[in-house]
Amino acid sequence: MLSFRLFGVVLAAAIGATVAAPAMAQSNACVHLLVGAGFAAKMRIVSGDFATQWSDSFAIGQTKCQSLKDVTDGKNFTVEVHALAGETKKCSPENIKRVAASPSSVTFQTWGTTFGVKCQEPGTTESAEMSEAARTPNPKGAEAAKNPPKE
């Protein structure tokens, strides 16, 4: 009987560990540009009146991170992604609470088109479109990786 209870506790813990939790990024915020994206991008972190500088541009298949050290512990922040020669989009979820004691990072997946940018944390509400963009290279994105537009 004790072994069944122990098994139940272990099983419940394992199931709880696999359920996607809300973003709790604490050391870095990152954006990964899926191979199905049709653009090169930049990213930054915004918290109240504070915003980091835009990152250097990065191409499809690459990840760019910025430190959260300048975001006050307990304050909310949002990650923004900018398609070169296109639109700027806030990543979902927005207003993530900074917990300085955590060494983890949050990484958002970005895909879409220059004027149809999508950006979200994996597992929040993954869509078939995100899954497709993760596997299927976009010719416009490949071209942007070779010859990034100047801004």
| pLDDT tens for each residue of 28-79 | 999 999 998 999 999 999 999 999 999 999 999 999 999 999 999 999 999 9
Return the CATH number at 31.
Answer: 2.60.40
Confidence of residue 89 (pLDDT cuts 50, 70, 90): very high
Domain with 125 in it: 21-146
Residue 102's pLDDT is what? Answer: 83
Does position 19 have pLDDT exceeding 90, yes or no?
Answer: no
Q: What is the number of domains present in the chain? A: 1
Check pLDDT > 70 for residue 150: no
Exposed/middle/buried for residue 84 (C-beta within 10 Å: 0-12, 13-18, 19+): middle
Percent of the chain with pLDDT over 90: 54
> Does residue 14 form part of some domain?
no
pLDDT at 144 over 90: no
Two structure tokens written together for 119: 């950006």
142 band by pLDDT with thresholds 50, 70 and 90: low
- Look at the alpha carbons of 76, 102, 125, 111 in this order and tell me if their dihedral is positive or negative: positive
Q: Is residue 117 part of a domain?
A: yes
